[in-house]
Amino acid sequence: MPLRSVHIPALFLLLCIQSAFAGADTWPHTRFHVERGTVLATAGGLSLAPNEQGQILLELEDARLTLSDQQRASFSFDGAPPDRIYLIWRYSGSDQLYQHGFPTLGNPQPQLELTGVSNWSGRPDALKIGFLAAPGTQVTLLEMRLAVPGWHQRLQDAVRNWSAFRPWRPTDINLHTGTRELHQGPHPMPAFALCCLVLTVLYGLIRRRRANWRGAAVIILACWLSLDAFWQWRLWQQVDVTRARFAGLDSEAKVLASKDAAIAGFVRNARRHIDSPDARVFVASQSDGSGMRAAYYLSPLNTYWHRNGPELPPASAFQPGDHILIVAPSALAYNAAAGSLRLPGGDTLPVIERQAGNSALLLEVSE
């Protein structure tokens, strides 16, 4: 039958649909054989406990695979994922095992683009999946998928990425990418900016002399609103998390409910040993974060904390009655029996222990 002009758009449409939903291999949890780790349950997912080394190893049964670096490996977990996932494969006629691992970063639906993974091609003889998780935890695998993503899948992934929520991290004060992770694209902003440009140009071409700047303003506002919807949704989800953690608590209880609870709690108790409001307190730590937090929660006491410098000044800077708050990690050597503290320069100070905690120590300089 000769190809008519009416067939061409239909063929094009078919090709688009076909490429949108590119073929995929999907394996539910029932297709895996457990080689390492303990099976806890198989209903509703394969629940496993890692061995003493934190390892789980699964073999994909009867896998007839063709590997390609265009593929993407996707995993789905019920609850917390393992810390790392490994793909391990072998070709027939060879004992060589190939391995590639990646961190899940807490994402229960981690994905790995296999572009650039060495030796990921051809038809392997065996494919195994390794999980690394803390001993005593539980990992529940729902399914694994290996697919060359079509444009529809990529669009879905992009939207999912743009609308993904995670609670505030310290680095959020420095930048906002619009995606779940820093280096994870595609980013939404250029997409919406391009959309705005295209729509504005189309508006100008269609309306011609009747086009005006107010019309362009409506298009710009509409595109901005659409992009901003992701951000507003994320803010509301964050408010939920914040309120769940801190709402209804008084000022002090909020601090003790925060991630600073350990340091703030220790400092609160330690301050009972610091009688004078004019007391000098030296904060020592090799961790910027720990030192900074300790100094903050000691306020309004007169504190000394040297970021990126020696943990403490020379012994000549100290006077009897000064306090030293050491927060782990620290290179200072405290000899409880001798009642002395060795400083970074090698000097020793006579000290009295005032309070000891799991990761902090309050000392007072004695005569």
Amino acid of residue 102: F
Contact with another protein (CB under 8 A) among 193, 262, 315, 356: 193
Contact with another protein (CB under 8 A) among 17, 201, 221, 352: 221
Contact 35, 160 (CB under 8 A): no
Which residue's CB is nearer to another protein, number 94 or number 319?
319
Minimum separation from the CB atom of position 228 to another protein (A): 5
What is the Cα–Cα distance from 130 to 140, expressed in whole angstroms?
A: 13
What is the Cα–Cα distance from 48 to 127, expressed in whole angstroms?
A: 19
Which residue's CB is nearer to another protein, number 64 or number 183?
183
Strand partners, 341: 334, 349
Minimum separation from the CB atom of position 22 to another protein (A): 27
Which residue's CB is nearer to another protein, number 75 or number 192?
192
Burial of 41 (0-12, 13-18, 19+ CB in 10 A): exposed
Q: Is the dihedral of CA 190, 192, 198, 203 positive or negative?
A: negative
Angle CA 78–84–88, to nearest 5: 105
Show Cβ contacts of residue 285 under 8 Å, excluding neighbours closer than 6 positions.
291, 294, 311, 326, 327, 328, 329, 330
Strand partners, 76: 143
Minimum separation from the CB atom of position 361 to another protein (A): 21
Residues 275-294, interacting with another protein (CB under 8 A):
280, 292-293
Minimum separation from the CB atom of position 300 to another protein (A): 4
The full 3-state SS of 156-207, as one line of letters, equals HHHHHHHHCCCCCCHHHHCCCCCCCCCCCCCCHHHHHHHHHHHHHHHHHHHH
Which residue's CB is nearer to another protein, number 176 or number 272?
176
> What x/- string results for residues 295 through 334 when contact with another protein is judged by CB under 8 A?
xx--xx-xxx-xx-x---x---x-x---------------
Burial of 174 (0-12, 13-18, 19+ CB in 10 A): exposed
Q: How many CA atoms lie within 13 A of 80 on its CB side?
A: 11
**Number of residues binding to another protein, judged by CB under 8 A:** 60
345 belongs to the binding site for another protein (CB under 8 A): no
Tokens of 197: 């440009």
Minimum separation from the CB atom of position 259 to another protein (A): 9
Closest CA to 305 of 316, 294, 319: 294
Minimum separation from the CB atom of position 348 to another protein (A): 19
Contact with another protein (CB under 8 A) among 4, 52, 116, 213: 213
Minimum separation from the CB atom of position 80 to another protein (A): 24
Residues 156-185, interacting with another protein (CB under 8 A):
168, 170-178
> What x/- string results for residues 238 through 267 when contact with another protein is judged by CB under 8 A?
xx--xx--xx---xx-xx--x---------
Tokens of 93: 């006629």
Which residue's CB is nearer to another protein, number 134 or number 261?
261
Contacts to another protein by CB under 8 A: 168, 170-178, 187-190, 192-193, 196, 212-214, 217-218, 220-221, 223-225, 227-228, 231-232, 235-236, 238-239, 242-243, 246-247, 251-252, 254-255, 258, 280, 292-293, 295-296, 299-300, 302-304, 306-307, 309, 313, 317, 319
